Structure 1
Amino acid sequence: MKKVYYALLFSFLMLSSAEAQEKQTFAISNGSFLLNRKPIQIHSGEMHYSRIPQPYWRHRLKMMKAMGLNAVATYVFWNYHEIAPGVWDFKTGNKNVAEYIKTAQEEGLFVILRPGPYVCAEWEFGGYPWFLQNVPNMTIRGNNKEYLAATKAYFTALYKETGNFQITKGGPIIMVQGENEFGSYVAQRKDISLEEHKKYSAAVFQQLKDVGFEVPFFTSDGSWLFEGGALPGALPTANGESDIEKLKTVVKQFNNDQGPFMVAEFYPGWLDHWAEPFPLQKPEQTVRQTKKYLDNQISFNYYMVHGGTNFGFTSGANYNKEHDIQPDMTSYDYDAPISEAGWATPKYNALRELLKTAKTPAVPKQIPVIAIPNIDLTKTVDLEDLKSNITPIIEDKPQTFEQLNQGDGYVLYSKKFTQPINGKLELNGLRDYAIVFVDGKKVAELNRYYKKYDCEIEVPFNATLDILVENMGRINYGSQINANNKGIISPVIINGETITGDWEMYKLPMTTEPDLRPYKNSGKVNRPAFYQGTFNLSQIGDTFLDMRDWGKGIVFVNGINIGRYWSVGPQQTLYLPGCWLKKGKNTVVIFEQKNERLQTNLKSILTPILEDLKPEKGQ
């Protein structure tokens, strides 16, 4: 028995010794990144697990490795995981961040974790859960106990999933970011003192350490914003900085007169908004800047190396003075080296030639692509039919999405008038897009992007006013992040009169595919409608739904919301991953808000259309 015991003990000690030998170290010391005590240059690419179907994670990580990269960076989207107050999901489908990190390690990539709590990323509300806005006394991104209690709960939940993947515990995580681009927020919020800003960022940074993150920390900001964003004990990195000497000067200024030097967001492309041109960057421009970094021992992270897709209602919006909102497109292609569908682009091939070594693996095979020539749409149902089966919430005045305890989708505001009223309808608090109907007849489209907040209206005796309002994505960047309620957020005014009394509100969150089985065909031109169809496949592959003949809405395929479409472009197709299709019968449901003509079919094509801009009529 003793022999067996000592044999087992010897085996355990040998195993522990082997594991200790395999465990790597990573540190920032003497002005360098050190891997196993030897200097290393980080060649990273940003890729977000939530924007790629889980079955494709490994393929995309292999694409990164074959490009010559040694690390992957990812934001963690708080609102992707806290799906209701105190309810966490780190396991379902794309939400399994631990599996993503594990897969990256298996593919030989280190991981740079960017947990926020604010992330920007052209993502809904910059990563914040919408319901934080309902917490009394909470100020988002501020030094107040309600907010800091929420961030602590988030970091605690995240650490349980990712903490053991730190390199100090044998995992691939080599660095963790403290906050995100906080210097730009400090610059925008001059109404708050720098001292108060610093108290907040220091508190969040301390929370990351308190829950157990122990690998080196860093911050990322524009090089001119370090004063507001840099944190003692975290390496400052400069986003988008192409001037090598400027990079080195500013990092030394805020890092004890030494490096290492890193550009945590090196942009090989740029983000895209609806109704605006699709920005492009020539491959040679990206290659030239990469070579400058390589020659000067500058570490970098391509933002994005692969953008992926804003499936469902995950896309956010920017804000500027010209447009009250700039909604982000469903496609997050970003003109990145790896396309939205995971293809090697000319930019990818050019960078691979620059970065590859003798050990760089071959480029993985492209996922098959198919075209579906015709999908018959056999049913169309007027929104009014679904409305009749929804119990409305009735209040004296219109309620916001948040007051209705709804995050995404649509709300139909309905008001019955017992007296006629004519004049200008004003929806100055529209968030974000509305179609106005009187007794079922379309009167106008109002739109926050075009700053169109009013229209002439005639409401006869005993008529009903319906206003269908769409949330096009909460603002993810800028000072307006604390003004992110959706729906109708101010009084409805007609002919100078505030309209109150018995507003009926029908919630249409569209978090799941609507069940159209109880309804008969009833779709009408210029009325919001649902379309349903089926199609059979003998083989599956990626494809792109052609939405050029449609107006505005969302598409479900096999119950999955694959995102928004809008005729203004420049995006005119929706990426449909083949891993979400089935051999045999597949289903599609489309919610078409404008419905300017009745549709009978839908098709898919082999290549995306992302550069076809068609401004709205009358704008």
Structure 2
Amino acid sequence: MKRTIFLIIILITVLPLSIFSQARNFTFSKGQFLLEGKPIEIISGEIDPGRVPAPYWENRIAMAKAMGCNAISMYVFWNDHEKSPGQFDFTTGNHNIRRFIQLCQEEGMLVLLRPGPYVCGERDFGGLPAYLLSIPDIKVRCSDPRYIAAVNRYIKALSAQIKSLQCTHGGPIVMVQIENEYGSYGDDKAYLETLARDWRSNGINVPFYTADGPSIAMLTDGNIKGAAIGLDSGTNDGDFAIASKINPGVPSFSSETYPGWLTSWGEPFAHTDTTSLLKEITYLLKNKKSFSLYMEHGGTNFGFTAGANSSSPTNYQPQITSYDYNAPVNEQGQPTAKYYALRRLISQYVTYPVPAVPQAPPVMAIPAFPMHPLTSIWDQLPSPEYSAQPKPMEMYGQWEGLIDYRTKLVGERYGALTITAPHDFALVLLNGKLIDTIYRDGGHWTVKLPQDTARTLTLDILVEAMGRVNYGPYIIDRKGITERVMLNGITLMNWEVYNLPMDKNYIASLKHNAGDFHDGVFFEGSFTLDKVADTYLDMSHYGKGLVWVNGHNLGRYWEIGPQKHLYCPANYLQKGLNKVVVLDLLQTKAYPIQGVRTLE
């Protein structure tokens, strides 16, 4: 008997949750979602696991449930899972999508899966993998066969992870979104139908939905037959009437209702009006319209994962590292006043019990600790590649970080130096001396090289990639120097190119150097802890760069703001000694850093 009980316990531990759950039927009727034949109003909160440290997934899901949500919507960022062709990661850290979905089920939450392949989401390249850009003339979000081949591979790999977690197999996934806001981009309906067939052929059998702005043109281009209509966002009777006109046989819902908004470098933090939000939610609840809050909890675009917006070839608006989004649950996981206002409102309309609010993870300050120069980028250059003319970093097999282009000036030695085009922030140096910086936004890409009597003149152009465009017609956004460099109209030739991906291996290999530090200095420091908790590293005394804590890339900071504090979750820290490395492109002097409790 004891042996039998022991075997049962082992089976419960190792077998998937779906084995012990009943298959459920999620279908559409005209204007309604049906779960087991009964109408259900979906009240969803968006939490993207790729932006949240895995140890906090359970807490963030519970926070959504305690606000009154009965579902979680979630992006899957393709470029998180397949950085190189055919090499997928669905197991490490916050890449374990399957585990996140299982946690949703354990909390009794339905799941709206948003796997793209393109998602936007203020994510680098809209979630598409940068390796696609190594194909010189590739077209994305359409029926280009090279793009479709990569998409097929992704769909097959992801489907293997999630198909047993559909409600048809006893899991929580009730709908899968096809693409994202396609009606704002293109009109290749065959492409959308190809995606739907690919999902079906790989075992995805729950209903589909699409998500587009509430206009006839966008919904016509973005929706496909049989898919529910998501409105980004649906705020009034008129919006829902348009959806019914486009596809009258399926339900529509507000697939992105915005409690907050994104923030770009150089502008104030987004703080949206709660009064208008509550009015919008009241309309949806009174009329029993399903909706999803984008975002319930935004999280963080750690490392190089933040994206950018662009409205023209010379316009560029990269997003900050924090994806706090002014959401109901802030970046650090704390409920805000907006959270409690939504919780009170939703509780008045739902018939199911709304649980108590879980305790947020602890946060701590860290006393200021000293930093010291470690080395310079110029002392840590790898072996170069040779190019007749500069090419974007993707053509050298690099997807993120920085890249340096070096050449010797021959005939033309001074005058107007024009870079076409610098993607995204460039330092121009002559014989190791900083001449000027160039920023992509605005199209002012010419600097003046001064006369210099030195016999040999070496020109370096160090370019930082700041995030690929994630929305609109300019998403083919390669990094580095995209075309050419000219001096007084003469194209400069014969370049040495140094790849600087700034990955873990590169940072771990840095060696102390006592030489002349200039224009791209690494600083190091450390602090000791007897306990760990979340904190923010205050980078107010630094110019522009990146921060690593115990090898974890926290992301970008920039003196133009608004973000000066970088979120460091507790799982990046350890009891005892903690090491910090900073790369700053604009200053050579070290300043102490402290840990503070808040983003702002």
TM-score by length of 2: 0.93
Query: Whole-Å Cα distance in 2 between the matches of residues 604 and 518 of structure 1?
Result: 26
Contact 1:380–1:522 (Cα < 8 Å) also in 2: no
Contact 2:227–2:250 (Cα < 8 Å) also in 1: no
User: Which residue in 2 is equivalent to 1:218?
Assistant: 209
Contact 2:404–2:461 (Cα < 8 Å) also in 1: yes
Change (3 A) 1:20 1:288: same
Query: Whole-Å Cα distance in 1 between the matches of residues 386 and 36 of structure 2?
Result: 64
Q: Does 1:205 align with 2:205?
A: no
User: Which residue in 2 is equivalent to 1:601?
Assistant: 592
User: Which residue in 2 is equivalent to 1:300?
Assistant: 291
Q: CA deviation at 1:520?
A: 2.4
User: Which residue in 1 is equivalent to 2:522?
Assistant: 530
Change (3 A) 1:323 1:242: farther
Contact 2:209–2:229 (Cα < 8 Å) also in 1: yes
Contact 2:526–2:580 (Cα < 8 Å) also in 1: yes
Q: CA deviation at 1:254?
A: 2.1
User: Which residue in 1 is equivalent to 2:458?
Assistant: 464
Contact 1:523–1:529 (Cα < 8 Å) also in 2: no
- The secondary structure found in structure 2 opposite 1:89 is coil
Alignment of 1:411-422 (within 5 A): 411-418=403-410, 421-422=413-414
Alignment of 1:157-306 (within 5 A): 157-186=157-186, 194=187, 197-224=188-215, 225-243=218-236, 245-256=237-248, 258=249, 260-306=251-297
Contact 1:124–1:315 (Cα < 8 Å) also in 2: yes
Q: Deviations over 1:8-55 (max 9, x none)?
A: 9xxxxxx9xx97884332211243111121111000011100000000
Contact 1:251–1:259 (Cα < 8 Å) also in 2: no
Query: Whole-Å Cα distance in 1 between the matches of residues 136 and 279 of structure 2?
Result: 51
Query: Whole-Å Cα distance in 1 between the matches of residues 151 and 529 of structure 2?
Result: 46
Query: Whole-Å Cα distance in 2 between the matches of residues 516 and 392 of structure 1?
Result: 17
For residue 394 of structure 1, the aligned residue among 356, 371, 386 is: 386
Contact 1:411–1:469 (Cα < 8 Å) also in 2: yes
Contact 1:420–1:459 (Cα < 8 Å) also in 2: no
Q: Which runs of 5+ in 2 are unaligned?
A: 9-14
Q: CA deviation at 1:451?
A: 2.8
Letter aligned with residue 221 of structure 2: G
Query: Whole-Å Cα distance in 2 between the matches of residues 541 and 144 of structure 1?
Result: 47
Query: Whole-Å Cα distance in 1 between the matches of residues 131 and 34 of structure 2?
Result: 42
User: Which residue in 2 is equivalent to 1:11?
Assistant: none
User: Which residue in 2 is equivalent to 1:105?
Assistant: 105
Contact 1:459–1:465 (Cα < 8 Å) also in 2: no
Q: CA deviation at 1:204?
A: 1.5
Q: Number of aligned residue pairs: give it.
A: 580
Query: Whole-Å Cα distance in 2 between the matches of residues 540 and 457 of structure 1?
Result: 50
Q: CA deviation at 1:420?
A: 5.9
Contact 1:75–1:119 (Cα < 8 Å) also in 2: yes
User: Which residue in 2 is equivalent to 1:90?
Assistant: 90
User: Which residue in 2 is equivalent to 1:485?
Assistant: 478
Change (3 A) 1:259 1:177: same
Q: CA deviation at 1:323?
A: 5.3
Contact 1:392–1:504 (Cα < 8 Å) also in 2: yes
Q: Which runs of 5+ in 1 are unaligned?
A: 9-14, 187-193, 610-619
Query: Whole-Å Cα distance in 2 between the matches of residues 412 and 112 of structure 1?
Result: 43
User: Which residue in 2 is equivalent to 1:521?
Assistant: 514
User: Which residue in 1 is equivalent to 2:117?
Assistant: 117
Query: Whole-Å Cα distance in 2 between the matches of residues 29 and 417 of structure 1?
Result: 70
Query: Whole-Å Cα distance in 1 between the matches of residues 312 and 133 of structure 2?
Result: 23
Contact 1:556–1:588 (Cα < 8 Å) also in 2: yes
Q: CA deviation at 1:516?
A: 5.6
Query: Whole-Å Cα distance in 2 between the matches of residues 472 and 420 of structure 1?
Result: 31
Query: Whole-Å Cα distance in 2 between the matches of residues 232 and 261 of structure 1?
Result: 13
User: Which residue in 1 is equivalent to 2:11?
Assistant: none
Q: Deviations over 1:37-77 (max 9, x none)?
A: 11110000111000000001011111111111000001111
- The secondary structure found in structure 1 opposite 2:470 is coil
- The secondary structure found in structure 1 opposite 2:471 is coil
Q: Deviations over 1:181-216 (max 9, x none)?
A: 010002xxxxxxx4xx11111111221112111111
Query: Whole-Å Cα distance in 2 between the matches of residues 519 and 459 of structure 1?
Result: 34
Q: Does 1:576 align with 2:573?
A: no
Query: Whole-Å Cα distance in 2 between the matches of residues 369 and 137 of structure 1?
Result: 48
Alignment of 1:310-321 (within 5 A): 310-321=301-312
Q: CA deviation at 1:247?
A: 2.4
Q: Deviations over 1:169-189 (max 9, x none)?
A: 000001000111010002xxx
Contact 1:273–1:329 (Cα < 8 Å) also in 2: yes
- The secondary structure found in structure 2 opposite 1:406 is coil
Change (3 A) 1:523 1:336: farther
Query: Whole-Å Cα distance in 2 between the matches of residues 176 and 418 of structure 1?
Result: 58
Q: Does 1:371 align with 2:365?
A: yes
User: Which deviates more, 135-144 or 150-159?
Assistant: 135-144
Q: Does 1:38 align with 2:38?
A: yes
Letter aligned with residue 478 of structure 2: N
Change (3 A) 1:20 1:322: closer
TM-score by length of 1: 0.90
Alignment of 1:497-508 (within 5 A): 497-501=490-494, 503-508=495-500
